[in-house]
């Protein structure tokens, strides 16, 4: 895999983050966005192929005093690239996946994401 292709994909993720509404970007704290080629077996846990994954404690479940390790959002490059060869379509999938995983950071459940039309990103 070329470094150029990985860099292009990472740019899609950065662009998706930049497109988030300011009120969400400003409230994102202590979170790392990680681009990986594929999910590990431990990450998938029988769920099949993942496009993204949120690991952490949602903001709605945090106590005010407890220290937390940084949350992580993983975006998986290969599954997204396998879905479409079109750069425009890949950008759309990345954006939807980033929004889906960040919603989990804010405590929005999969059921609520389904209601909002954002439930297909995992």
Instruction: Give Cα 66 to chain centroid, integer Å.
Output: 24
Residue 120 covered by a domain? no
So what's the pLDDT on residue 119?
A: 58
State the residue range of the domain holding 30: 3-60+67-115
| Percentage with pLDDT > 90 across the chain | 55
Write down the pTM of the prediction: 0.86
Residue 51 covered by a domain? yes
Residue 15 covered by a domain? yes
Residues of the chain with pLDDT under 70: 1, 116-122
So what's the pLDDT on residue 110?
A: 78
Residues 57, 53: Cα–Cα separation, whole Å: 13
Q: Which CATH number is 40's domain given?
A: 3.30.2010.20
The tokens for 100 are: 């889906």
58: Cβ contacts below 8 Å, ≥ 6 apart: 104, 105, 106, 107
């Amino acid at each position: 895999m070329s470094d150029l292709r990985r860099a292009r994909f990472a740019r899609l993720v950065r662009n998706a983050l930049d497109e988030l509404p300011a009120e969400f970007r400003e409230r994102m704290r202590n979170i790392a966005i990680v681009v990986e080629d594929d999910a590990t077996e431990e990450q998938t846990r029988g769920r099949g192929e993942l496009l993204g994954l949120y690991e952490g404690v949602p903001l709605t479940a945090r106590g005010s005093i407890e220290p937390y390790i940084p949350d992580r959002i993983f975006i998986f490059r290969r599954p997204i690239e396998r879905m479409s060869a079109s750069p425009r379509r890949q950008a759309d999938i990345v954006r939807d996946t980033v929004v889906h995983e960040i919603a989990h950071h804010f405590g929005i459940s999969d059921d609520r994401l389904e209601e909002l039309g954002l439930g297909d990103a995992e």
